[in-house]
A and B are shown apart, each in its own frame.
Chain A
């Protein structure tokens, strides 16, 4: 089958439908996943296709239905739970971090929790401080949880399909700013294997590491840098757990410079983990410190002007790259 143009949202929906057709144990549960079709439309029409026994609208009881998904996953089902916004994860952190993540381990390997928790985060819709965060570090910190953050349409499909075959819990984080984006989907051809970071654009002067929507900003930044004569390599992490640091290290040992880009806040963020690993594993190869370009350490403001300013964009990444590689300080550089 050849590639077709579709949207990130449609690719996710197609992945759910294709997986559910193959595996009768998959059920979808969450707020508004059925009759409403999903807050962002990912499960639209699926209630009609699969019926209320497999597409379960839940009350607004996040700990209750995520906990139920854990029990169901231990009892022969493979639940896909939609947590409408990742910001709500604070409500379900016990079920996720203390229960789902640890059940296999605490019980000595007797049983796993094959569930996928789909959620979405990020800015771009003026959804304000409680509906715009990027909280992946909270989940990536916990052993036992796999964390996937697709940046492309093809990955949206294939990473979700793969997550729905895994024996362990997966936190699958989409980006609200990507749902309507168009791109090519080839259902017969994944971008790469699960757990492998991919070079989305090869380059020699600096490595830009990103995931989710920041991959796109980084690719635009790489174009801007190319116009300045700088060859930037852009790596898409795709999954935070498993974490393929080998691909990053290989790249940075060659380019000798790295920028880590995340939409999430800088302090205590996953960008810090990546930076630490690069410093540890590439120390003698680095020309400059590994630089983090991350979200400001502020709550996400509602005004579009403020919201835009609170997270990195291509311009900022490119300016940082220019400074790092060519020592050309941007206009905002402090005296």
Chain B
């Protein structure tokens, strides 16, 4: 694959992420989502560089802002949107939603709504791969908010101590909810933190997907050989924390400047400048992706909600004792009344 072919592929991955996120937003506006806890990853699409550098057998955990990662790892947009809408055919049968989407078939060990909650799972998965002598890497994706969580450092320490095939991937979008990263920590050199534990550590420009891809390829290869690392993508979260957040904690000048760090625009400009693709063909690609996502959105909206009886399924494995439904319990009590 030439550089231009790769960049075009990455552009396509990133456009699909943005296009999907725009449909998530539209679905919310149309009151078709389950709730408003929807965290868009627009501005962070260069994570596709990491996703494309991973192998099919690799696994990953994500965070609450993980739609983009999942779609870049091969998720079906219609089933993703169905899950986000709480539909029966969603990836998690309408039980997880946006923040808990997962698919074992694609190696998605789960999105997590506890900041930093899934990081240690990637370390554990890597432990299993090492023990089973499988050449797989587990990637923990998370945001800058989790950079201040203790479990991250416990996980880094374990990964380095046990030489596990893990890549820690921090998408630094500058905000943990409404708190800008420089209000959350005194030292922004996150790569130093990794090196302090004996891990490799790199910070790359998240508006440059080629740089992200190059670093990820190299660090994944090292991780596969038992040399784990931390890769930080410096990005900007274009919109609010969740769908209802209008970002009152930052001014429009900052937003305007931040949105200029657009990995899609920069990839597009480069492609045109390097004659990797013409503007017209990129417009056609964008339109094709938009149609794909429109179609996925309408499909998801047309799907049906789960049957209420499925509520009691999946608490435990199917062959195990189940929870007692409230109505059954009340019936047992009240039917015994004798006076």
Bound complex: CA of A106 vs CA of B93, how far in Å? 9
From A108-116, A120-128, A205-213, A264-272, the one touching the partner chain is A108-116
State A272–B158 Cα separation when bound (angstroms).
Answer: 40
CA distance A65 to B218 in the complex (A): 27
Tell me, yes or no, whether A16 is within 8 Å of chain B by CB: no
Q: How far apart sit A95 and B121, CA to CA, in the bound complex (Å)? A: 9
Does residue B337 face the partner (Cβ distance < 8 Å to A)?
Answer: yes
Contact of A64 among B95, B120, B317, B338 (CB under 8 A): B120
Are the CB atoms of A284 and B95 closer together than 8 Å? no
Chain A nearest Cβ from B35, distance in angstroms: 14
Q: Is the CB–CB distance between B313 and A109 below 8 Å?
A: yes
The reply to whether B314 and A108 form a contact with Cβ atoms under 8 Å apart is: yes
Is A130 part of the binding interface, using a Cβ–Cβ cutoff of 8 Å? no
In the complex the two chains form, is A77's CB within 8 Å of B131's CB?
A: yes
B92, B158, B336, B339: the one contacting A107 at CB < 8 Å is B92
CB atoms of A63 and B121 under 8 A apart: no
Which of A64, A76, A143, A166 interacts with B155 by CB under 8 Å?
Answer: A64
In chain A, residues 222-267, which have Cβ atoms closer than 8 Å to a Cβ of chain B? 242
In the assembled complex, A37 has its CB within 8 A of some CB on chain B: no
Q: A99-B117, A168-B320, A284-B337 are known contacts. Are A108 and B91 too (CB-CB below 8 A)?
A: yes
**Interface 0/1 of A57-72, CB less than 8 Å to B:** 0110101111111111
What are the interface flags for B82-111 relative to A under an 8 Å C-beta threshold, 1 for contact and 0 otherwise? Answer: 000000001111111000101110000110
- Contact A67–B92 (Cβ < 8 Å): no
Q: Please, how many angstroms separate the alpha-carbon atoms of A108 and B97 in the complex?
A: 10
Using Cβ atoms and an 8 Å threshold, which residues of chain B touch A303? none
A75 & B128 in contact (Cβ 8 Å cutoff): yes
- Verify A59–B161 contact, CB threshold 8 A: yes
Q: Quick check: is B333 within 8 A (CB to CB) of the other chain?
A: yes
**A304 interface contact, C-beta 8 A:** no
CA distance A71 to B129 in the complex (A): 11
How many Å lie between the Cα of A70 and that of B123 in the bound state? 9
When C-beta atoms are compared, the residue in chain B nearest to A282 turns out to be: B336
The A-contacting residues of B in range 48-102, CB under 8 angstroms, are 59, 61, 90-96, 100, 102
Question: Which residues of chain A have C-beta atoms less than 8 A from B317's C-beta?
Answer: 104, 112, 166-168
B127 contacts A by Cβ under 8 Å:
yes
- With A63-B154, A168-B317, A281-B333 in contact, do A110 and B92 touch (Cβ < 8 Å)? yes
Quick one: which of B280-331 are within 8 Å of A by CB? 313-321, 323
Judge if B122 is at the interface, Cβ distance under 8 Å. Answer: yes
A242: which B residues are within 8 A, CB to CB? Answer: 321
| Contact of A111 with B104 in the complex, beta carbons under 8 Å | yes
* Chain A residues within 8 Å of B161, by CB: 59
B124 within 8 Å of A (CB atoms) = yes
User: Chain A residues near B337 (CB, 8 Å)?
Assistant: 283-284
- Name B332's contact: one of A69, A99, A112, A281 (CB within 8 Å): A281
Chain B, residue nearest A98 (CB): B114
User: A280 contacts the other chain (Cβ, under 8 Å)?
Assistant: yes
Docked-complex contact A77 and B92, CB < 8 angstroms: no
Any chain A CB within 8 A of the CB of B151? Answer: yes
Partner of B154, one of A61, A76, A99, A283: A61
Chain A residue with the shortest CB-CB distance to B306: A108
A104 to B96, CA, bound (A): 10
Select A77's contact among B91, B128, B150, B157, beta carbons within 8 Å: B128
Given contacts A70-B124, A75-B125, A106-B96, whether A99 and B114 have CB atoms under 8 Å apart is yes
How many residues on chain A are close to B (CB under 8 Å)? 48
Which A residues are CB-close (under 8 A) to B40? none
Q: In the bound complex, do residue A104 and residue B314 qualify as a contact, i.e. CB atoms below 8 Å apart? A: yes
The number of residues on chain B lying at the interface, defined by a beta carbon within 8 Å of a beta carbon of chain A, is: 57
- Determine if A74 is an interface residue (Cβ-Cβ < 8 Å): yes
Option from A53, A70, A76 in Cβ contact (under 8 Å) with B120: A70
Nearest B residue (CB) for A167? B317
With A106-B96, A106-B102, A108-B91 as contacts: A63 and B150 at CB distance below 8 Å: yes
CB pair B321 A195 closer than 8 Å: yes
Using CB atoms, name the residue of chain A closest to B136.
A75
A27 on interface, CB distance cutoff 8 Å: yes
B100 x A67 contact (CB < 8 A): no
Q: Give the residue of A71, A108, A144 whose beta carbon is less than 8 angstroms from that of B121.
A: A71
With A108-B94, A242-B321 known as contacts, the answer to whether A76 contacts B109 (CB < 8 A) is no
> Is A293's CB within 8 Å of the partner chain B?
no
Contacts of A77 in B (CB 8 A): 124, 127-128, 131-132
**What's the Cα separation between A146 and B320 when bound, in Å?**
11
B window 156-193: CB within 8 A of A: 157-158, 161-162
Chain A nearest CB from B58 CB (Å) reads 12
A73 at the interface (CB under 8 A from B): yes
Task: Report B34 CB to chain A, min CB distance, Å.
Answer: 13
Name the residue of chain A whose CB is nearest to the CB of B321.
A242
Cα-based distance from A68 to B117 in the complex (angstroms): 11
Decide if B138 is an interface residue (CB 8 Å cutoff): yes
Q: Which residue of A lies closest to B149 (CB)?
A: A63
Nearest chain A CB to B319 CB, angstrom units: 8
**Contact between chains at B109 and A74 (CB < 8 Å):** yes
Check if B110 sits within 8 Å of A107, measured CB to CB. yes
B314: A residues at CB distance < 8 A: 104-105, 108-109
Which residue of chain A has the shortest Cβ distance to B99 in the bound complex? A106
The answer for the CA separation of A79 and B157 in the assembled complex, in Å, is 19
Q: Which residues of B contact A (CB under 8 A)?
A: 59, 61, 90-96, 100, 102-104, 109-110, 112, 114, 117-129, 131-132, 138, 150-151, 154-155, 157-158, 161-162, 313-321, 323, 332-333, 336-339
A-B contacts, 17 of them at CB < 8 A, read A53-B131, A64-B157, A65-B120, A65-B154, A67-B123, A67-B151, A72-B125, A74-B109, A75-B138, A106-B92, A106-B96, A106-B102, A108-B92, A110-B92, A110-B104, A195-B321, A281-B332
Given contacts A68-B123, A106-B100, 15 further A-B contacts (CB under 8 A): A27-B131, A67-B123, A67-B154, A69-B124, A70-B120, A71-B123, A71-B125, A73-B124, A74-B125, A95-B117, A103-B110, A106-B96, A108-B94, A144-B315, A280-B333
